[in-house]
Amino acid sequence: MPDRPFHHTLAVREDLCQGCTHCMKRCPTEAIRITGGKAHVNPERCVDCGQCMDVCPHDAIVIEQNDFQQIFGYRHRVAIVPSLMIGQFEDEVAEMDMIGAFHSIGFTHVHYAEFGVDILKTLGNKISVYADAHPVVSSYCPAVVRLIQLRYPTLLPNVNLMRTPAQITALYARASLEAHGCAPEDIGIFYITPCAAKYAQIKTPGSATSGLIQGGLNLDHVFNLLQRDLAKNSDRTRKGTPTWESPAITGPAFLWSLTKGESSMMQGRTLSVDEVHNVIEFLELVEDERHENLDFLELRACDTGCTGGILTPRNRFLATERIKHHAATLPKELPDRTRIAILELSDKLIHNLKVERISAKYSLQLDEDISTAIRKMERVKRITEVLPGIDCGLCGSPTCRALAEDIARGNASIRRCMVMKMKDPTGLNHLAKIWGEAIPKESHPAPVPDFTPEA
């Protein structure tokens, strides 16, 4: 996959942002700086994990909204629904009520995203993976894939290049409708996304999902539409309005998006890690190549897996429990007619299961040129020595070390250090003269990346 800029779906609302540093401190890639009293996100570093949105006490970080009405631009409107959707409802809402509501709000076809797992298994009799190196790292979580592109490029050959279940389901849904004579341009496939990263992936031009999926719809918005519909039509089942067929899926596939859901279906020795800071801690170890006994690594940016996604309204533990409870009622194998339907389309599916290789992103380095980077690193070392080392964040950088790097890159002045300003203002003046004022760049809204990524 050639290097393409990430599309980001998270944005800071300046009218609400208080410049309080919570997001900056939580960000796992140090992508956020506070300048002019407002948070600014460096697009070259952000992996769309959503931690900032989760921690913001002022709801100042928002996710791009998408127009639900866009689905009506298509005659056949397919919803790809993550199985965790059922977990967002209390037990009173039965699966059929939820599926009925999806049709009622405008969809003509509903598939569970994780049905793709069953499709893959039906096509190959096992869950195949495809990677150039061992252990294989799951590509399911797009925030983790972006994290690897940014911070662990040595591990890119380990990333599974098999399409994700939602993408495989989308392939199947399209192939199946076309086989029934539907015109390709009349088919609109929409993924209901529980997080910023999956939405961002859909919106990134040329990504694995573009073309395959016509749009992403934020899960919280769709949840509200469903709730409203359920409240309005609470007597739908009694009135005998058409009942819908339950979308095909097996119990094990239904659990895929939860922690251990994917790894439990993989061959060999597997391991699962959730929450982005845990993932980073673990990737550091994997990068050192001292874990050759492991075969498959399931890594998820959100706690408890996708039920921890920032767009999921319900408590992640309760949601997880309901999903497991529902999965226990599902069959272990697909019904024969579904298997036959998949196998009839196997020619259309089987050659389209892999995505292109993923390329590295370079934006954490101090400079592209090693000599310049070394010079900047020497400065970082010297500047760090004089900074107070308490990581208070008042300067607008997450740590003293990060401020030192910002100064060395020419993006900030040491004058930002409030502790030094109070303790030794004369000394600070002197140091600012040595290390630069960086005033032009400080008034710039976002830190400018040091160099453009390689083509």
Q: Which residues bind another protein (CB under 8 A)?
A: 151, 153-154, 284, 287-290, 360, 362, 364-371, 373-374, 377-378, 381
Compare residues 293 and 329 and give the one whose CB is closer to another protein: 293
- Least Å distance, CB 408 to another protein, is 10
Find the shortest distance in angstroms from Cβ 422 to another protein: 30
Q: How many CA atoms lie within 13 A of 191 on its CB side?
A: 30
Handedness of CA 405, 389, 58, 314 (dihedral sign): positive
Shortest CB 361 distance to another protein, Å: 13
Rounded to a whole number of angstroms, the distance between the first and last alpha carbons of the chain is 11
The nearer residue to another protein, 377 or 418, going by C-beta atoms, is 377
Sign of CA dihedral 163, 166, 170, 175: positive
What CA–CA distance (Å, rounded) separates 195 from 200? 9
Considering beta carbons, is residue 59 or 368 the nearer one to another protein? 368
Q: Write out the two tokens for 367.
A: 């400079």
Q: Indicate the burial class of 128 (C-beta count within 10 angstroms; 0-12, 13-18, 19 or more).
A: middle
Q: Which is nearer to another protein, 372 or 429 (CB)?
A: 372
Extract the tokens encoding 306.
């996708």
Dihedral angle sign, alpha carbons of residues 29, 147, 169, 202: positive
Min dist. Cβ of residue 33 to another protein (A) = 18
What whole-number distance in Å separates Cα of residue 41 and Cα of residue 39? 7
Q: Which is nearer to another protein, 145 or 192 (CB)?
A: 145
Nearer to another protein, 151 or 300 (CB): 151
Compare residues 295 and 367 and give the one whose CB is closer to another protein. Answer: 367
Q: How far is the CB of 358 from another protein (least distance, A)?
A: 14
Whole-number minimum distance, CB 374 to another protein, in Å? 5
Residue 88 or 397: the one with the smaller Cβ distance to another protein is 397
Whether the CB-CB separation of 247 and 253 falls below 8 Å is answered with no
Least separation in angstroms between residue 399's CB and another protein is 13
| Closer to another protein by Cβ: residue 122 or 399 | 399
Residue 454 CB, shortest distance to another protein, in Å, is 11
Nearer to another protein, 33 or 415 (CB): 33
Contact 294, 138 (CB under 8 A): no
Rounded to the nearest angstrom, the gap between the alpha carbon of residue 338 and the centroid of all alpha carbons in its chain is 30
Handedness of CA 260, 264, 265, 270 (dihedral sign): positive
Question: Virtual CA dihedral for 103, 105, 107, 112, nearest 10 degrees?
Answer: -70
CA distance 401 to 391: 8
Q: How far is the CB of 451 from another protein (least distance, A)?
A: 9
C-beta of 93 vs 364, nearer to another protein: 364
Give the number of other Cβ atoms within 10 Å of residue 144's Cβ: 28
The least distance separating another protein from the CB of residue 435, rounded to whole angstroms, comes to 17
Closer of 241 and 372 to another protein (Cβ): 372
For residues 151 and 336, the answer to whether their CB atoms sit within 8 Å is: no
- Nearest distance, CB of residue 150 and another protein, angstroms: 11
CB of 272 to another protein, least distance (A): 22
